[in-house]
């Protein structure tokens, strides 16, 4: 073996080693995938101690106590959610323009009242990947049920998006808005119907 050939062979071996280890990121752990938006991680924890709420009116009809699967496949029962605090159901689709126009304000309202009220999105006639895109684009932090066959929508007599329904703690059906509602009006109604002064 000539001296030049040996030097070239050593250089190729070093380059090959650097090529294998140089791009691998060394000892860094692989990146974790982002959690699924609208999944179980978005469910609320226990309500704060001393949460003051208005009692549901006597004689109000009961809301349909339906169950479904969140965006990550986790099961959820609406009755479990309204056992602790009021629930606002937001019926939407990723392709609804009016839903998208109002979503930023609804997301902010959900963050502002996160200890007192649970917002729950209910999407139908949608592909899961389109719902994920919508939730990420609009910073939706609350849980979202994928109502693939429209069972929950039909239970609440929702025919088209958007629609919003308010359910008191305990399950009394308080108010609904076919065609949706803007966040400022919804905030006023929450203060009037369910949040103690």
pLDDT, tens only, 158-178: 999 999 999 999 999 999 999
Beta-carbon contacts of 135 under 8 Å, excluding residues fewer than 6 positions away, are 37, 38, 71, 121, 144
Output the pLDDT for position 56. Answer: 83
Please tell me the distance from the alpha carbon of residue 38 to that of residue 72, in angstroms, as a whole number: 7
How confident is residue 31, by pLDDT bands cut at 50, 70 and 90?
A: low
pLDDT, tens only, 107-122: 999 999 999 999 999 9
DSSP designation for 70: B
Percentage of residues in the chain having pLDDT higher than 90: 73
Please tell me the distance from the alpha carbon of residue 71 to that of residue 178, in angstroms, as a whole number: 24
Global pTM value: 0.81
Superfamily of domain 52-193 in CATH is Glutaredoxin (3.40.30.10)
Output the pLDDT for position 50. Answer: 87
Asked if 78 contacts 65 with a C-beta cutoff of 8 angstroms, the reply is yes
Check pLDDT > 50 for residue 8.
no
pLDDT, tens only, 63-86: 999 999 999 999 999 999 999 999
Q: What is the mean pLDDT of residues 92-116?
A: 95
Check pLDDT > 80 for residue 21.
no
């Amino acid at each position: 073996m000539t001296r030049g050939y040996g030097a070239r062979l050593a250089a190729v071996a070093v380059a090959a080693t650097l090529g294998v280890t140089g791009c691998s990121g060394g000892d860094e752990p692989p990146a974790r995938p982002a959690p699924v938006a609208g999944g179980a991680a978005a469910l609320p924890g226990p309500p704060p101690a001393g949460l003051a709420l208005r009692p549901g009116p006597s004689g109000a009809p009961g809301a349909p106590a339906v169950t479904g699967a969140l965006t990550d496949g986790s099961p959820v029962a609406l009755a479990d959610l309204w056992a602790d605090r009021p629930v606002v159901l937001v019926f939407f689709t990723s392709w609804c323009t009016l839903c998208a126009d109002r979503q930023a304000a609804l997301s902010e309202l959900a963050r502002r009242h996160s200890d007192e009220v649970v917002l729950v999105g209910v999407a139908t006639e949608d592909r899961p990947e389109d719902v994920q895109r919508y939730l990420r684009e609009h910073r939706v932090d609350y849980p979202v049920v994928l109502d693939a066959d429209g069972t929950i929508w039909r239970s609440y007599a929702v025919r088209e998006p958007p629609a919003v329904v308010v359910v008191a703690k305990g399950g009394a059906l308080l108010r609904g808005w076919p065609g949706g509602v803007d966040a400022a009006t919804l905030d006023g109604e929450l203060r009037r119907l369910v949040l103690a002064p």
